[in-house]
Chains A and B, each alone.
Chain A
Amino acid sequence: GDSVTQMEGPVTLSEEAFLTINCTYTATGYPSLFWYVQYPGEGLQLLLKATKADDKGSNKGFEATYRKETTSFHLEKGSVQVSDSAVYFCALSAGAGGTSYGKLTFGQGTILTVHP
C-alpha cells in the first residue's frame, strides 16, 4: 500500500538557518503530494501541495518539488523564524477511484523548534 516516510526528528535550528525536512513516498499511479503544518494546540493547515511530477509548491517561504524519479517531496525554507516552530507532516493522496479515494496517507511528522 501507499506509504510516506519523513526524516527523523525533532529538528532544532537557530533563527535564519536553512531548513530541510526530507520526505519520500511509495505509491502506485500518480499521487498528489502535500505538506501540512500543525501549530501547538491547533489542527492541521495545508502548507503547500503539488499534483504532478516536477511541480513546485510554495507558500510562506517554504518550497517543495515533486520528484517522481526519486519519489521525494522534500520541504525547504531558506531562513526560518521562531514562528515556524510546529509539527510538519508530509502526505500523499492517491486520487480518484478505488478504496483509497480521498484518503491522505501521512508521514509520522517532524517537530521543528526554532530558537532566537
Chain B
Amino acid sequence: EAQVTQNPRYLITVTGKKLTVTCSQNMNHEYMSWYRQDPGLGLRQIYYSMNVEVTDKGDVPEGYKVSRKEKRNFPLILESPSPNQTSLYFCASSLHGTDTQYFGPGTRLTVL
C-alpha cells in the first residue's frame, strides 16, 4: 500500500531534550516536506527536500533541522525543543513538487 508513515504518532517531552520525528514514504517520491499545524493558522511549511541531499527552508524553519540521505526518509530533528514547538506535525511527499502531495498521519508533539 502506498503510504507516508511517521513515528512517533504522539510524543511528550521536556524543553531542551533532542528529539527526531521520522518520516518514510514507499512511493519513490522525489519531493518531501514537513508542515506544522496550529489552530487558526492552518499548516505552515517548515522544510522541504527536492531530492536526496537537497533540502531548503520553508516558512518557519527556526529551531528545526532536516536531512535527506535516502530517497524514502526525511527525518525532522529538534535539537533543543521549546514549548512554542508544541504542535501537530505532518510529513508529505509527491513525485515532484508540482504533483499532488500525500500526507502522513501526523505527529502530535508536546514540549513541557
Contacts and interface: CB of A to CB of B under 8 A. Distances in A.
Instruction: Give the most central of A4, A42, A43, A102: most B CB within 10 Å.
Output: A102
A49 B100 contact: yes
Given A45-B103, A99-B56, A103-B33, A93 B45 contact: no
A102 B97 contact: yes
Given A96-B97, A96-B98, A106 B43 contact: yes
B73 to A, nearest CB: 18
Interface in A74-116: 89, 91, 93, 95-96, 99, 101-104, 106-109
A93 B43 contact: no
B105 A102 contact: no
Nearest to A106: B42
Given A103-B33, A109-B42, A43 B98 contact: no
Contact of A32 (B33, B44, B56, B98): B98
Given A43-B103, A43-B104, A99-B56, A89 B98 contact: no
Interface of A: 4, 32, 36, 42-46, 49, 89, 91, 93, 95-96, 99, 101-104, 106-109
Contact of B42 (A32, A42, A89, A101): A89
B41 interface: yes
14 contacts: A42-B105, A43-B90, A43-B105, A43-B106, A44-B103, A89-B43, A93-B97, A101-B48, A103-B45, A103-B58, A104-B35, A104-B92, A106-B35, A108-B40
B100 A101 contact: no
Nearest to B96: A102
A34 to B, nearest CB: 8
Interface in B75-97: 90, 92, 94, 96-97
Interface in B3-56: 4, 31, 33, 35, 40-45, 48, 50, 56
A104 B42 CA distance: 11
A42 B35 CA distance: 15
